[in-house]
Structure 1
Amino acid sequence: MQTKKPATIAIYGFDHALASAITGAVDLFAQAGVTWQKIHHALPSPVFSVQLLSSTGAPVRCVNSIMLHTDGRLDARHPPDVLLIPTIGGNIEQVINQQKSLMPVLRTFHEQGVDIAANCTGVFLLAAAGILDGKSATTHWGFANEFKARFPQVNLNSDKLHTYEENVFCAGGGMAWFDLALLLIERYAGADVARQTAKAHVLDLPRINQSLYAGSRREQAHQDEIIKQAQRYMADNIKLKLSVDGLAARVNLTSRTFNRRFKAATGQTPGHYLQSLRIDHARKLLENQKWTIEQILSQVGYDDPSTFSRLFKKRTGYSPSLYRTKFTTFVQS
């Protein structure tokens, strides 16, 4: 019986990249179809043939000053099955300017149907090449506003841990490279091998989104002072029964004008924004207080436990009780 040839995956290295997003991905891809089999005394069947490449073939100095030797130069004439762009660990603007030669290679590979994946701030490089225009994408939640301002033509959903459209794959926060790697392993070898790889490396799955890692943030990266005033009032009074009509009256706007200006300033409706504030505050209370769910509900403006639980799970991927269990090490004794 003929053994299936491993797919080729090129991991692109560059100066100021996050070292762990390179070396960790190399290890995980190289061990797919190997570690689980060794544990169970079976014949290894590698899923990927992995190479670390750079623009010139020279070593790269990562953001932590570790030097990584490469296997050669990334060449548009020799497309791999998969190209992975790791996290930018240094100054994003500087790295984009230093990687001008990467842009035509990305566009060529995209046209040829190569699977192109990027992790965290590495997604900025895909967007700079134009291959994310009109597509869904995600990046690290902490850089979402910068990304939106720079690449408004990309459909960014920074709550998602990973996205994929056509042959382009994106992952969120810095260590989401292993979620991205497992997604690609499943694509090339099936769900069973992806699960085996996760189990062999003691990886916590499934992870649905990254919004639960973002923390409570008052998204006020706009210039509408009236809406900022409303946002501050909402954040300070989330336990109250707030209505759009009442909020509009507080800032001397009609409800219709308030809705329009709020959406234009924040990208969200007032109701969705308030819901996000309440869920984020509930998360903090679950992490740091031993209160009952009923006590928490009274602090975040909800009366119905079932409604709250449904909304909480929709946003975080966990029920309130499971969320508390998962983050129990953070609960004060």
Structure 2
Amino acid sequence: MVFCPSRILVNTLCHIRYHAIIVNNDTIMVNTANNNSALFFKITLITFMNSTKFTVTVLGFDQALASAITGALDVFAFAGISWQRIHKLSPSPQFRVQLASHHGQPFMCSNQIMLQPNIAIEDVSHTDILLIPTIGGNIDEVLRDTQPLLVHIKRLQKVGADIAANCTGTFLLAQTGLLTNKTATTHWGYADKFKSMYPNVNLQPDKMVTEDNAVYCAGGGMAWIDLSTQLIERYCGHQIASDTAKSHVLDVSRTSQTIYASSRQRRLHADKDIMEIQSYLEKNMRSKTTLAELAKKHNMTERTMIRRFKNACDITPGQYLQALRIEQARKLLETSTMPLENLINAVGYEDLSSFTRLFKKTTGLSPSQYRIKFNRS
């Protein structure tokens, strides 16, 4: 069985009675039978692969994060090339990449580097993937200035493009309405802002990458690595995606960004009483105060406190306290060599086995694994 991604080649071969297909490093030989005479078709493999190349368009705009643009362009462009070069194999490029902007104008990235697109988004009639990079500057300013781009994102989605957004670029994607009633993720630090702006999106900020009906979102910062690798796998298969990741030394084992998140982000609300409770818990995370005592201390019933806390923070006071303790434990694992038995006492836990289970459930790593990965010493 021969994998023939080219529809043209498949259609041609379907109309020919052939005895064998011989695949070499640089050619495909088709031996056909026609009235006892043999006819050979020779197809150069590079030409074959070029004819099946997919197109990736990255959409540029002022205050975009440069690395989310140039990094993704490189990874897609070298899929099927880097691994082959290392192993002295014939290259088989999979993607044609292009950088687009409004009217093809140069744009200033958030690091003050100017990038020159090679096409205007208005002139892009087809692309397999449209990638929206991270907003590296002020989100509200960028959303205001990029209004003319929305119609083109929707236009390309209608003609079959997979739409993908990285990090805070998901805000721009959400502005199109294409995320309404869909699952999405974004940078964990901007999850509360995203929820308040787009309540009809099923936001899952713990996820590194989400996909819902060919609309892709990635989490914070460098999650374009995970997003790009997943898209390469979708279009080219697991082997090429794996080879590309290995040749570029990319960590593609990440499925959650919870390990990087901070519980302090849950303060983007207007309930001052709940803010006071949060402050109390942050200062007294080792305390054995019960929920009833905590509610009484802040002049409300336990039931009212839980309801208001959940409305403001999306989690209960108990879950918030647990998140604070885990976060403090992470900091101690990152910055100290404190024995685990002492460390768990320092953050309000007593049983090492139950703490270890909870820590691994939250971060995906055991405390020992976390210390090895993140300890600064």
Please report the TM-score for the alignment, with normalisation by the length of structure 1.
0.93
Match of 2:89 in 1: 42
The answer (yes or no) to whether the contact 1:110–1:167 under 8 Å persists in 2 is no
**2:303 is equivalent to residue 271 of structure 1:** no
Alpha-carbon distance in 1 for matches of 2:130, 2:333: 40
**Aligned residue for 2:197?**
150
Confirm whether residue 309 of structure 1 aligns to residue 356 of structure 2.
Answer: yes
Deviates more, 1:247-256 or 1:115-124: 247-256
Q: Deviations over 1:54-101 (max 9, x none)?
A: 121222222223222222112477121100011112222222222222
The within-5 A match list for 1:53-64 is 53-64=100-111
Name the amino acid aligned to 2:228.
A
Q: How does 1:94-243 map to 2 (within 5 A)?
A: 94-217=141-264, 219-243=266-290
SS in 2 for 1:187: helix
Task: Give the Cα–Cα distance (whole angstroms) in 1 for the partners of residues 357 and 158 of structure 2.
Answer: 42
Q: 1:46 deviation in Å?
A: 1.6
State the distance in 2 between where 1:293 and 1:173 align: 30
Structure 1: 5+ residue runs without aligned partners? none
Name the residue aligned to 2:11. Answer: none
Indicate conservation of the 8 Å contact 1:52/1:72, yes or no. yes
The answer to whether residue 329 in structure 2 is matched with residue 291 in structure 1 is no
Deviates more, 1:219-228 or 1:124-133: 219-228
Give me the whole-angstrom Cα distance separating, in 2, the residues matched to 1:54 and 1:111. 19
User: Aligned equivalents of 1:313 and 1:113: distance in 2?
Assistant: 40
Which secondary structure state, in structure 2, belongs to the residue aligned with residue 84 of structure 1? Answer: strand
Q: Contact conserved, 2:58 with 2:100, CA < 8 A, in 1?
A: yes
Q: Distance in 2 between matches of 1:125 and 1:207?
A: 24
Moved more, 242-251 or 157-166: 242-251
Deviation per CA, 1:130-173: give whole Å up to 9, x if none: 11111222222222222222222222222322222111111122
SS in structure 2 of the partner of residue 217 of structure 1: helix
Structure with higher Rg: it is 2
Amino acid aligned to 1:287: E
**Cα pair 1:76 1:109 within 8 Å, conserved:** no
1:72 equivalent to 2:116? Answer: no
Whose RCO is larger (CA < 8 A, sep 6+)? 1
Q: Percent identity?
A: 51
Give the counterpart letter for 1:170 in structure 2.
C
**Range with greater deviation from structure 2 (28-37 or 137-146):** 137-146
Partner of 1:10: 57
Q: Is the 8 A contact 1:218 1:231 kept in 2?
A: no
2:299 aligned with 1:252, yes or no?
yes
- What code does the residue aligned with 1:103 have? L
2:189/2:265 contact within 8 Å kept: no
Question: Which residue identity lines up with residue 67 of structure 1 in the other structure?
Answer: M
8 Å CA contact 1:76, 1:105 repeated in 2: no
Helix, strand or coil for the counterpart of 2:103? coil
What is the rounded CA distance, in whole Å, between the counterparts of 2:297 and 2:99 in structure 1?
Answer: 58
In the alignment, structure 2 segments of 5+ residues that lack a partner are 1-27, 29-42
Which protein is richer in strand relative to its size? 2
* C-alpha spacing 1:251/1:218, structure 2 compared with 1 (3 Å): farther
The answer as to whether partners of 1:18 and 1:62 remain within 8 angstroms in 2 is: yes
The separation in 1 between residues aligned to 2:128 and 2:303, in whole angstroms, is: 51
Question: How many angstroms does 1:129 deviate by?
Answer: 0.9
User: Are residues 170 and 252 of structure 1, via their aligned partners in 2, closer, same or farther at CA, if it must alter by over 3 Å?
Assistant: same
Per the alignment, do residues 315 and 27 of structure 1 end up closer, same or farther by CA in structure 2, a change over 3 Å counting? Answer: same
CA distance in 2, matches of 1:294, 1:133: 47
Contact residue 189 and residue 262 of structure 2 kept, 8 A: no
Cα distance in structure 2, aligned partners of 1:260 and 1:301: 25
Provide Cα deviations, 1:208-251, integer angstroms capped at 9, x if missing partner.
22232234526222222222222112111222334333322322
**In the comparison of the two structures, how many residue pairs are matched?**
330
Counterparts of 1:187 and 1:93, CA distance in 2: 33
CA RMSD after TM alignment: 1.9
User: CA separation of 1:53/1:201 partners in 2, compared to 1, >3 Å: closer, same or farther?
Assistant: same
Partner Cα separation in structure 1 for residue 86 and residue 124 of structure 2: 38
Counterparts in 2 of 1:218 and 1:15: CA distance versus 1, 3 Å: closer
Amino acid at match of 1:21: A
